[in-house]
Amino acid sequence: MTRILFFYLLLICSVSGYGQEEVIPWSADRKLEWSDFKGKFLKTEWAAATTASSISYRFSTHEKNGQWFVDFEVGCEFYPQKSWYRPEMVDSLILSHEQLHFDISELYARKLRKRLAEGKFTANIKEEVKDIYQKLLKELYLYQNKYDRETNFSRNREEQIYWNKMIANALKEEKPSR
């Protein structure tokens, strides 16, 4: 639960200026390596590894003929200093589990881009965008929990392989828009 709460807090903090530290933007061409996990684990932690990632956004607006338009930028980032692993407990399957947490964040970043692109906004655009973002974060949080639960944190190898394929296919279908 600590791991999930920490992940959720990083998602929330990403909009409020968090992240003046090293980040790795999500890329289909770059997979995580254990050397990317530079944080220190707490001796009380039961997990083998933790991935700290976030979805961030920024936007500008303009009004034309009574209609509001938004130009936005959405990112998905990995935080090396907040991510850690225990070398004695990990293998390539656990690394693929952690990569998938990052990939799921990217999938939801794409969903955010789509929702913002399809949004109809009023003069209250700042609150409307924030509402879309917060709803999406709740969905992401639930989905990440479902992923951990169904794979038993990568211990259920068949489910882990299933999820790897499912998310890879979802990323192919949900092409990045920006």
148 or 123, which is more confident: 148
Domain assignment of residue 178, yes or no: no
Domain assignment of residue 78, yes or no: yes
For residue 77, pLDDT beyond 90: yes
Domain count, the chain: 1
3-class secondary-structure state, position 136: helix
In this structure, of 123-127, 128-132, 136-140, 142-146, the range with the lowest mean pLDDT score is: 123-127
Strand order in the sheet with 24-25: 24-25, 67-78, 53-64
pLDDT value of position 177: 61
Pairing relation of β-strands 49-50 and 24-25?
unpaired
Q: Which ranges constitute the DSSP H helices of the chain?
A: 2-13, 92-118, 125-151, 157-173
Mean pLDDT, rounded, of the chain: 87
Domain assignment of residue 128, yes or no: yes
pTM (predicted TM-score): 0.86
Angle CA(79)–CA(42)–CA(161) in degrees, nearest 5?
60
The whole-angstrom separation of Cα 76 and Cα 99 is: 13
Taking only the tens place, the pLDDT of each residue in 29-54 is 999 999 999 999 877 778 899 999 99
Domain assignment of residue 71, yes or no: yes
- Band of pLDDT at residue 136, cut at 50, 70 and 90: very high
- What are the C-alpha distances in Å from 33 to residues 36, 78, 88, 110, 171? 5, 12, 16, 23, 20
Q: Which domain range does residue 121 map to?
A: 2-173
